[in-house]
Amino acid sequence: MIGETRAADASGISWTAPRIALMACASLAIFYTVLAIRFTLVPTGDGVHNASGGVLGNDFLFFYSASKLVLAGTPQMVFDQARFFDLQESIAGQRLQFPWAYPPHLLLLIAPLALLSYIPALFAWLAVTTAPLILLIRKLSGAPLLAALILPPLIQNTISGQNGALTASLAAGAIAALAARRNFLGGLLFGCLVYKPQVFVLAPICLLACRSPRAFAGLAVSGLGLPLAGLLLFGPDMWRMFFEHLPDQMSYVVSGRMPRKRFATIFIFLLDTTASETIARIGQGISTLAAWAMVYACWRRSGDVFVRAFAFCVALPLSTPYLYEYDFALWSLPAAFLAMRIWRGQGGAGDWAAFLILSFLPPGIWISSLVGLNFAVIGILALVPLLAREVLGRGWIDEDDKLIS
């Protein structure tokens, strides 16, 4: 076995071949982290621009712009694209044109950002949304702090200035709460994902597998309460405008107005390979139903945190046609579990394969999109048999969520 070759340093750590290989992966992750942050999050000295010529935090610009509109009492202007783009240009000094694509209640969360200037708001946003995920990764997987900080899926969201870490924090928190039998809290956290409908749709399927009325009660409180709060504060016209503009998002992707090479979904893969939107829609429909069935079966069979997080992560890009690479931030959690398993000398070839895909596919999507390539779906599909192997190696859970061997 390759891991049997050992050499100990002065600290007493046994440097087996798997540990050396894992450290090589960590070195690559550190290199990517430093390089990516250098070009996206370090100011150039001329305002809010970065070394790549774009704006600091990239997509964060439209969150900040939207928060300014809320503070000014004109939240409906997020759906007036001409004025919304003008505001972005006035802040960034360049025409970037990030359209608003979220339901009204997300504006409640981002409104406080307008109280700060752009750069402090950016780093406050990254800190508040990322810190819970890092803490959960450390608590659940046992990974060291440095390892949690440099996980590539998390870094990919950070350099985008996006909400992937927020989504991941809520999903990871829900999974952890359910594992600790805090079912109402688990449902409550899952319900908060309602700001991102393509992710939220997996939540009731997972809870259906858990068969916990308390979890569904929590889901109802936040899943209905947040949209209701948005309705009461912003009025019904905001929801009308949201639904009117919702179809535009996929039309932008199909037409190429948005960078569809950054979408690792069955729909985009089939659209690119067949040039048929009909085939792409049919294929995505089949994939969505299969992903729902898969995540239900995995959650029903196992109550293990790693298995449930792994299943959620694999199902997510297969269940929706609309998903950017920064939405893969949750992949950091199962990647950390696998890294610790490998470090302990318990990882096999399948664990290595899953670890490498979970860790490096998200930044790979972004990098390959720069040269017009998109084959990420192949990597995602490769995770399915690896997930099946993990799940089938465990017992069923009974009605009280106790593992039966």
Distance CA 35, CA 32 (A): 5
Cβ contacts of 247 within 8 Å, gap of 6 or more? none
Q: Is the dihedral of CA 229, 234, 239, 240 positive or negative?
A: positive
pLDDT tens, 24-79?
Answer: 999 999 999 999 999 999 988 767 888 888 899 989 999 999 999 999 999 999 99
The DSSP call for residue 79 is G
Query: Tokens 């990597």 appear where?
Result: 379
pLDDT at residue number 162: 95
For 126-140, 142-156, 371-385, which range has the lowest pLDDT when averaged over its residues?
A: 371-385
Distance CA 31, CA 159 (A): 14
What's the rounded mean pLDDT across residues 359-370? 90
What's the rounded mean pLDDT across residues 102-115? 95
For the chain, the straight-line distance linking the first and the last C-alpha, in angstroms and rounded, comes to 28
H helix or E strand, kind and range, residue 54: none
Distance CA 151, CA 26 (A): 8
Picking from 230, 232, 225, 174, the residue whose alpha carbon sits closest to that of residue 199 is 174
Identify whether the C-beta of residue 360 lies closer than 8 Å to the C-beta of residue 332: no
Picking from 289, 310, 295, 318, the residue whose alpha carbon sits closest to that of residue 377 is 318
| Token digits of residue 9 | 């340093």
Per DSSP, the residues of 349-387 read HHHHHHHHHHHHHHHHHHHHHTTT---HHHHHHHHHHHH
Distance CA 7, CA 360 (A): 28
pLDDT at residue number 6: 53
In terms of pLDDT, which residue wins out, 8 or 167?
A: 167
Rounded to two decimals, the pTM is 0.91
Cβ contacts of 199 within 8 Å, gap of 6 or more? 167, 171, 193, 316, 320, 327
Side chain identity at residue 80, one-letter code: D
What's the rounded mean pLDDT across residues 309-328? 95
pLDDT at 149 over 80: yes
pLDDT band for 366, please (50, 70, 90 cuts): confident
Distance CA 196, CA 194 (A): 5
pLDDT at residue number 402: 40
pLDDT tens, 169-202?
Answer: 999 999 999 999 999 999 999 999 999 999 999 9
Cβ contacts of 241 within 8 Å, gap of 6 or more? 76, 79
pLDDT at residue number 361: 94
The DSSP call for residue 76 is G
Buried b (16+ CB within 10 A) or exposed e, 285-312: eebbeebbebbbebbbbbbbbbbbbbbb
pLDDT tens, 94-108?
Answer: 777 788 889 999 999
| Token digits of residue 139 | 């608590």
Angle, helix 236-255 to helix 213-234, in steps of 10 degrees: 100
| Token digits of residue 151 | 């996980």
| Token digits of residue 312 | 């959620």
Phi, psi of 65 (to 5 degrees): -60, -40
Distance CA 41, CA 122 (A): 9
pLDDT tens, 289-302?
Answer: 999 999 999 999 99
What's the rounded mean pLDDT across residues 333-353? 95
In terms of pLDDT, which residue wins out, 250 or 159?
A: 159
pLDDT at residue number 394: 59
pLDDT at residue number 262: 87
Distance CA 153, CA 235 (A): 36
pLDDT tens, 198-217?
Answer: 999 999 999 999 999 999 99
Query: Tokens 């909400």 appear where?
Result: 163
Side chain identity at residue 339, one-letter code: A
Distance CA 161, CA 98 (A): 13
Average pLDDT of the chain, as a whole number: 90
Distance CA 135, CA 380 (A): 26
Distance CA 29, CA 212 (A): 39
pLDDT at residue number 8: 54
pLDDT at 328 over 70: yes
Alpha helices in 46-151 (DSSP H): 60-71, 81-92, 106-110, 118-141, 145-149
| Token digits of residue 114 | 């307008």
